[in-house]
Structure 1
Amino acid sequence: MAKSSPKDINELMLRAHNMAGIRLADIAMDNQIAVPENLRRDKGWVGQLIESELGALAGSKPQQDFIHLGVELKTIPIDSKGKPLETTYVTVAPLVNIQGLTWQNSVVYHKLQQVLWVPVEGERDIPVGERRVGTPILWQPNVLQAQQLQQDWEEIMELIALGKVDKITARHGEVLQLRPKAANSQALTESIAEDGSIQLSNPRGFYLKIDFTQQILNNAFG
């Protein structure tokens, strides 16, 4: 049973802090959600569980999870030393109809204006239900982080506009990267070719690199 959406940021943060130290199995039982044996086929399960517990509204829509509060929710799997175990998915990248798109009106910009980070134990030797939720962080990018994000986004979007989407690797970008985003490599979507025509490519997503999210956690927890 999904919770009602929080009225304000204080209520959201109270709910998030109340989860800290709690096992996923207990949160799942409270929400009448079955716990999968592993996350191989249920990659988004932890995020969906936390969304349900906190009363997030957006689901997979290209907007913030708590749009009335201006807050995006991101769960982040960490190891025993507090290091993020994987990159963080932000949103699908637009590969066509991008004339006039600027950083300030991009989905990446809007989603990263204010993020509620919820760390969760992610080491594979801990059964899914036994993993505990960590202390939440309400984060806004500082001046340097905002510049890094904008610069990476603009450089990647320029390559997409020039028809070089298939030449972009995960090494492009200091803090933000572009990677294939699909259940399998057969999935195709329209993108711009080098001669300006339309070609078919794998869908792409924007991801935050591990070093960047590590810095956010370090800054929050010293």
Structure 2
Amino acid sequence: MQRAHEMAGLTLGQLANLHNIPVPNNLKRDKGWIGQLIEHELGAIAGSKPEQDFLHLGIELKTIPVDANGKPMETTYVTVAPLIDIQGLRWQDSVVYHKLQRVLWIPVEGDRSIAVADRHIGTPILWTPSQQEFEMIRQDWEEIMELIALGKVEQITARHGEVLQLRPKGASSRSVTLSIAQDGQNKLTNPRGFYLKIAFTHQILCKHLK
């Protein structure tokens, strides 16, 4: 947390220079660059594994792009959704549950009119979901997983869920994976990921930055 607080107020360019890391002109081809830079500074080691970024601390790291008013500019990716072999999977055993036990949010200026190197890093927030917040996430997760189990993955839209949503997750629409079909067999579909909705993450930021 000390290192996270020491980062606050720096630009991405200043932080990158400290590590001799080149700054991309834009993030079209380097979508995960900001997260990787912050991970590097804070010593996160999990990368894209289905475990918390700081496993020994039980903390997940999330960089979140915000606009001039501090509102998140996009949904927050949590993890890939399991689409087969989910019989008997319980909420407490899910990757979503483990990833969101405790989250270190690092807001970063996300306005595209600001050069990547000139975007400032904001005040870190260490968030542990309240019982009510976790309950909302759990309800959405269970409803979405039930639809997946019934072979209705294609019918799930981003509008499903109050705070958690399921969306296609892949390099392109050509990416495919196995999922459960309505007849119980397996079929091919696009990979899906769980994302936290903007209104929910905005609430978290507002609550802690008052």
**Same fold, TM-score > 0.5, yes or no:** yes
The whole-number CA distance in structure 2 between the counterparts of 1:26 and 1:94 is 39
Work out whether 1:69 is the aligned partner of 2:57: yes
Q: Give 5+ residue unaligned stretches, structure 1.
A: 1-12
Once the two structures are TM-superposed, the CA of residue 212 in structure 1 deviates from its matched residue by 0.4
Alignment partner of 1:114 out of 82, 85, 102: 102
Aligned to 1:99: 87
Matched residues in 2 for 1:33 and 1:95: separation? Answer: 37
**Counterpart mapping for 1:76-91 below 5 A:** 76-91=64-79
The one-letter code sitting in structure 2 at the alignment partner of 1:135 is T
Counterparts of 1:141-220 in structure 2, within 5 Å, are 141-220=129-208
Show CA shifts across 1:140-189 (max 9, x none).
Answer: 11011010000000000000000000100000000000000001000000
Question: Helix, strand or coil for the counterpart of 2:86?
Answer: coil
Q: CA deviation at 1:33?
A: 1.2
2: CA distance, partners of 1:163 / 1:33: 45
- In structure 1, the residue corresponding to 2:117 is in which secondary structure? helix
Percent identity, aligned pairs only, is 68
The Cα shift of 1:31 comes to 1.5
Q: Say how many residue pairs are matched.
A: 210
Partners of 1:189 and 1:14 in 2: how far apart? Answer: 41
Among candidates 116, 120, 136, match of residue 124 of structure 2: 136
Question: How far is the alpha carbon of 1:26 from its aligned partner?
Answer: 1.0
CA shift at 1:96, angstroms?
Answer: 0.2
1:135 offset after TM fit, Å? 0.1
Query: What TM-score, normalized to structure 2?
Result: 0.99
Shift of 1:116: 0.2
Please give the alpha-carbon distance, in whole angstroms, between the structure 1 residues aligned to 2:202 and 2:116.
22
Letter in 2 for 1:167: Q
Per the normalisation by structure 1, the TM-score is 0.94
User: Out of 45, 60, 63, which is 2:33 matched to?
Assistant: 45
Q: Distance in 2 between matches of 1:45 and 1:102?
A: 33
Q: Aligned to 1:218, what secondary structure does the other structure show?
A: helix
The runs of at least 4 consecutive aligned structure 1 residues that moved more than 2 Å come to none
Compute the displacement of 1:30 (Å): 1.1
RMSD of aligned residue pairs (Cα, Å) = 0.5
Residue-by-residue CA offset, 1:17-51 (whole Å, 9 max, x unaligned): 00000010111111221100001111111000000
